[in-house]
Amino acid sequence: MGEVILEMKEIDKTFPGVHALDHVNFEVRKGEVHALMGENGAGKSTLMKVLTGIYTKDSGSIIYEGKDIEFHGAREAQDAGVVIVHQELNMVGHLTVAQNIFIGREFKKGIKIDDKKMNEEAKKLFDRLNIDIDPTATMSDLTVGKQQMCEIAKAISHEAKVIIFDEPSAALTESEIEDLFKIIRDLREQQMAIVYISHRMDEIKVITDRVTVMRDGCYVGTLITDECTKDDIINMMVGRVIYEEPKTKSMVAPDAPVVLKVEHLNAGKMVQDVSFELRKGEILGFSGLMGAGRTETARAIFGADPKESGDIYVNGEKVVINSPQDAVKHGIGYLSEDRKRFGIVVQKSVAENTTMADLPNYIKGIFINKKKEREVAQKFVDSLNTKTPGVDQLVVNLSGGNQQKVVIAKWLCKNCDILIFDEPTRGIDVGAKNEIYKLMNKLAAEGKSIIMISSEMTEILRMSDRVVVMCEGRKTGEIAIEEATQENIMNMATREIG
Amino acid sequence: MKKKLLATLLGVAMVASLLVGCGSSAEEAAPAAEAAPAAEAEAPAAEEAAAPAAGDLEFKIVVKSFQSSYWQAAVTGVNQAAEELGVSVECNGPNAESDIADQVNMLTNYINAQPDGIGLAACDQSAVLDALQMAMDAGIPVVCFDSGVPDAPAGSVLSTIATDNYGAGATAADNLYAALKDTIASATAPVRIGEVNQESTSESITQRGLGFIDKFTELAKADGYTVAVVGNEFYVNGAKDKGDEASANIIIEVAVPAQTTVELCATEASAIMNKSDVIGMFGSNQVAAEGILSANENLDVLGTEPGTKILAAGFDAGSVIKQAIRDGKMFGAVTQSPLAMGKTTVETLYAIANGETVSDIATDGYWYDTTNMDSADIAPNLYD
Amino acid sequence: MEIKKSKKIFKQEVIVFLVVIALLLFFCLMSPDFRKYTTILTIMDYSYYIVLMSIGVTFPLITGGVDLSIGTGLICYSLAGGYLVVHAGWPTGLGMLVSILFGVAIGTLNGVLIGVMDLPPFLATLCTCMITRGLGSICAKNFGVSWPTAGTPGSWFRSIFKITVNGTKLPLGFVWVLMLVLIMNFVLKHTKMGRYTIAIGSNKEAAILSGINVKFYHIMAYVISGFFAALASIAYSAVFATVQPGTGAGFELEAIGGAIVGGVSATGGAGSIVGSLIGVFVICLLKTGLPFIGLQANWQQIVTGLVLIGAVMVDIIKRKREKK
């Protein structure tokens, strides 16, 4: 490990309502692979965005190569040698590999772009990194892993000194990860400073030299990888503070019937052989890290994405669900994690949104029975305690929590007995969160069955009667609430897959 | 003062049109119009107002489009008459002759503006019927020009000023047949005459097309030939005798493009002109005739010697057609007198406003070719 | 793998070219009158303006947008230039220059509306389509304009597209059109302009993150489209006798249709100018050939529409395959 090339001191950043970074310290040395870890929302990405100038910091200082600097945008950081390899690939699919690597700074011969030279330069770059990719290949024809390699090559071709990998292995196969590590080691040899953001505990142990852990926007500590255990890191990530009283005992009657049974469900890479049961009146927590395949599982069950194989039983009967319509027919409702995109039509009124899924019941002749629609909507506004000036209010004007209630009303209106809540409290403030929790408990008590996908450990522990844990598209554990702890859930969520 | 006058005139027009409405023909309308001054006499204020009426009269003219210089000449005539009579006239028309709905819209707007009279060249015979009823209900006299509206509500159209289009089409057939007579006589196989009509919805175009077909058939039959009409269904069914294609000596093939544009007319024309048995062509308006000329740009089959070249007859004028006739590309054409027609329209409206009786006026179509196109009685009608 | 892909694009053009040949053979077989040199001349004459529009509109299409204003624009530019030549006595060359500048101006307007003000391309160009339709009629005082006819002074521009050598008419315009196709093919494939056009259509976000001046290149795509619509207006004026105000709507569909038949992706990112050229000939062949086999005008439009549906379906199926 060489000298410190980059140091971030007391970085502070507040977004409206959220203290995203609370005086965070971070440093990285030349020739070091430094892991940045933390739960979802711990502030890792925000910190890196502050570094590369995508966000401006409120206070604190960044010292790069001995100088106090502040970048204004990714381009400026790039020119100075600080580059990010994004989790989402930023590639132009219709262009070739070489054209992508040099996009924005093409070699030219007169007015003609010198593709030949670009191919040669790309080839040299790949040779240096020991990557075997044809520079003339069309980008969209490459595997995701190869595309990732190109992204790395592109980053390096900027004369990078600090490279930040944001969850680089998320979409890679085992052998591709091997290749990636080889490249990272080579880069380390060349005295580059590497920041490695990942959830995969095993990778951290293999590739990194030091680990910095963040939690809730705060800096927790930095460890030398070889001197710590996986449990040490997990303890630092989850912390000791429990904000909410966890549920201590399942509220489900032991003889409650199984309302939904999923067997050996397969749907692409993110849903592999998932099986579970859901009982009447149960809140089944789905825990796991981002990209564990929970949303994909829910969407496959709901018929929003195609399934490859697997059986679904509703109330003991085998059903075929090929589309959301089928799912709704069988009483399954899905509350998307992205309300604005999938859950509600924000420019429509509360009443219109409430009856949207059940409109045929509100049609008189060719007209919508507005009176009945408003009555029913009002009923749900009252029973869910939705705070709105009236059922004619446009949903866009409601707060996040109340929007969520409108979505819930929509599915209740459709008489759905099985509700899948995907991140039900994302983007909702604390007070409203409690209301949603109360509402979920009430629904469960009334005999509705709920699958709750959540990335918040406290939420899982507080609400679930039982917890299913997923990791990389597989179910890696199932645990009764009585035995669930942050540690054992996190352990399953980060488990190595053989 | 002006309001009063308007009200009075309106009253007059209403009474007149009401009475006209009772009658079933223009002749019967005559006494009604005569009755109008009597109504005026009962309103002394109107009497003195009637004298300076000319200066305050306002007419609206709706033309079919501004697509060809034909309408330019008509509008010129309208403006000339307006100046001479000291009335104000506003002209409007849709972008293309196929924009039927636009024209109806313009017409309705004009009716709502309550002018003293409307001159109309209808793009479509049936689309304007409701508007004409509206005009009659509002007491606004309408004069149709260029194209008549045969099914107009009785009494809504006080006069139709139009070329006898059927006759004009026949004129073209007369001249073309005369020139082709020997070629037909010496032919060993059936020969073909092509006809391009830009559409099949307006009366003027369809009448010309049918006039040509019927007259040509009549002349050929008189000489002992058999004739068949093929192509566009409207014209085939509209012809007096559509004949039988298999046994005919003379085949008249009619083409209508999907839109009224030169390049589509040209495409249709060149499809016909490519056939080896074609001896004559007829384009029933300026666009269709120019389409035939555009097609000839490449085919180079048009000329004035029967037998070796295809003889093409056009319709209307314009610089392109005139030049083609001078150059011997086009055999000849039929012209109307758009200028006179425009002028007469305003004069007729003026007469109606002054309580005079009017009836339909038919204007003639004249054949012109290299021999007479510079003569004094033809040249003024040949607008550019 | 990469070789397979380039072959695939190549293949699309070859397939469409084979369709052109097949159509030619079909019409020749069905109609003896079609088998004439003059038919080729006619097809050429009537194809120039569509090909030129299609070259231009390929750029907006590749950015994932569209330019609906080129059809009425063509008529508008021609009327404006022609009016000055015929009625104001300007030299023909100057009139043509006015047409071209007019086209570039409308193209720039489209580009700014779409690239800078973020209007949806369909909407923005639909508006300019209406604007040019009205503007053209105003420019020509509502009357048709006949550019100088063959043989009259100032008619030299007609021989740009067709010359007579030893009594034989030669479709000279095809040479120019072909040259422009090759030049723009080079621009699309081998210059920054083209590359960034593809990048915008394929992944605009990535293009922005790569530090490309996306706004500028987005505007330029529409400027090119406007410029070629103006060149098309000259071709149209040279081939047809009279330019009528109020027409032109629908021309753009033939050009866009041709481009899509020729393999330009309806969602952007992919396509070639050579493909567009060949695609336009499919449309032109149908337009010219169908009357020869005695198909009535309205049926011709139906057949052309069906062919377009077929081409778009192929594009969609192709994209679905690529996704897999």
Among candidates A75, A90, A137 on the partner chain, residue whose Cβ is nearest the Cβ of C2: A137
CA–CA min distance A452, chain C (Å): 31
Q: Is the pTM of this model over 0.90?
A: no
A94 lies within 8 A of chain C by CB: yes
Mean pLDDT of B215-239: 94
Work out the number of other CB atoms within 10 angstroms of the CB of residue C264. 29
State the burial class of residue A311 (Cβ atoms within 10 Å of its Cβ: 0-12, 13-18, 19+): middle
Q: Which residue has the tokens 């469900």?
A: A265
Among chain A residues, CA nearest to C194? A113
Residue A108 with chain C: CB contacts under 8 Å:
192
As a whole number of angstroms, the distance between CA A379 and CA A402 comes to: 15
Res A282: pLDDT:
93
As a whole number of angstroms, the distance between CA C130 and CA C69 comes to: 8
Among candidates C1, C190, C206 on the partner chain, residue whose Cβ is nearest the Cβ of A92: C206
CA–CA min distance B146, chain C (Å): 18
**Whether pLDDT at C176 is above 80:** yes
Answer yes or no: do A94 and C270 touch at CB < 8 A.
Answer: yes
Residue B65 with chain C: CB contacts under 8 Å:
246
Number of domains in chain C: 1
Res C49: pLDDT:
95
Say if B2-162+339-363 and B165-315 have the same CATH topology: yes
Among candidates C1, C198, C210 on the partner chain, residue whose Cβ is nearest the Cβ of A141: C1
Subunit partners of chain A (3 or more CB pairs within 8 A): C
Task: Determine the topology of domain A258-493 in CATH.
Answer: Rossmann fold (3.40.50)
Res C5: pLDDT:
44
- Within the 130-169 window of chain A, which residues sit less than 8 Å (CB to CB) from chain C? 134, 136-138, 140-142
CA–CA min distance A30, chain C (Å): 26
Res C180: pLDDT:
96
Residue B103 with chain C: CB contacts under 8 Å:
none
Low-confidence ranges of chain A (pLDDT < 70): 1, 17, 40-41, 87-88, 170-171, 239-245, 339-342, 427-431, 495-498
Task: Report how far apart the first and last C-alpha atoms of chain C are (Å, whole number).
Answer: 14
Mean pLDDT of B247-251: 93
The encoded tokens of residue A94 equal 């219709």
Touch between C and B (at least 3 CB pairs under 8 Å): yes
As a whole number of angstroms, the distance between CA A215 and CA A197 comes to: 14
Q: Provide the pLDDT confidence category of residue C6 given band limits of 50, 70 and 90.
A: very low
Answer yes or no: do A94 and C2 touch at CB < 8 A.
Answer: no
CA–CA min distance A124, chain C (Å): 19
Strand pairing report for B332-335 and A418-422: unpaired
Res B52: pLDDT:
42
A79 lies within 8 A of chain C by CB: no
Answer yes or no: do C1 and A95 touch at CB < 8 A.
Answer: no
Among chain A residues, CA nearest to C212? A104
CA–CA min distance A98, chain C (Å): 12
pLDDT per residue over B297-347, tens digit each?
A: 888 899 999 889 999 999 988 888 999 999 999 999 999 888 888 999 999
Q: Provide the pLDDT confidence category of residue B51 given band limits of 50, 70 and 90.
A: very low
Among chain B residues, CA nearest to C162? B298
Res A429: pLDDT:
64
Q: Range of C245's domain?
A: 2-323
Task: Determine the topology of domain B2-162+339-363 in CATH.
Answer: Rossmann fold (3.40.50)
Residue C13 or B34, more confident: C13
Answer yes or no: do C137 and B65 touch at CB < 8 A.
Answer: no
Among chain A residues, CA nearest to C270? A94
Residue C132 or A168, more confident: C132
Q: Tally C-beta pairs within 8 A across B and C.
A: 117
- CATH number, domain containing residue C36: 1.10.3470
As a whole number of angstroms, the distance between CA B128 and CA B130 comes to: 6
Mean pLDDT of B42-54: 44
- CATH number of B165-315: 3.40.30.10, 3.30.70.20, 3.40.50.2300, 3.10.129.10? 3.40.50.2300
CA–CA min distance B372, chain C (Å): 22
**Whether pLDDT at B184 is above 50:** yes
pLDDT per residue over B134-176, tens digit each?
A: 999 999 999 999 888 888 888 889 999 988 889 999 999 999 9
Answer yes or no: do A95 and C322 touch at CB < 8 A.
Answer: no
Indicate which of C7, C195, C205 best probes the interface with A, i.e. most A CBs within 10 Å of its own CB.
Answer: C195
Residue A90 with chain C: CB contacts under 8 Å:
203, 205-206, 209-210
Res A240: pLDDT:
52
Among candidates C142, C244, C301 on the partner chain, residue whose Cβ is nearest the Cβ of B261: C244
Res A248: pLDDT:
78
Answer yes or no: do C190 and A115 touch at CB < 8 A.
Answer: yes
Subunit partners of chain B (3 or more CB pairs within 8 A): C
- CATH code at A4-238: 3.40.50.300
As a whole number of angstroms, the distance between CA B147 and CA B35 comes to: 29
Q: Residue C157 carries which side chain, given as an amino acid letter?
A: F
Res B330: pLDDT:
95
Answer yes or no: do A95 and C195 touch at CB < 8 A.
Answer: yes
Res A171: pLDDT:
67
CA–CA min distance C247, chain B (Å): 7
ipTM, interface predicted TM-score of the complex: 0.81
Strand pairing report for B366-368 and B191-196: unpaired
Task: Decide: A208 and A225 in contact? Cβ < 8 Å.
Answer: yes
Indicate which of C63, C203, C272 best probes the interface with A, i.e. most A CBs within 10 Å of its own CB.
Answer: C203
Residue A93 with chain C: CB contacts under 8 Å:
202-203, 269
Touch between B and A (at least 3 CB pairs under 8 Å): no
Please provide the average confidence, as pLDDT, over all residues in chain B: 84
**Whether pLDDT at B38 is above 60:** no
Residue C190 with chain A: CB contacts under 8 Å:
112-113, 115
> Domain boundaries in chain A?
4-238, 258-493
| Nearest alpha-carbon partner for B9 in B42, B66, B64, B49 | B49
Mean pLDDT of C306-322: 77
Among chain B residues, CA nearest to C301? B258
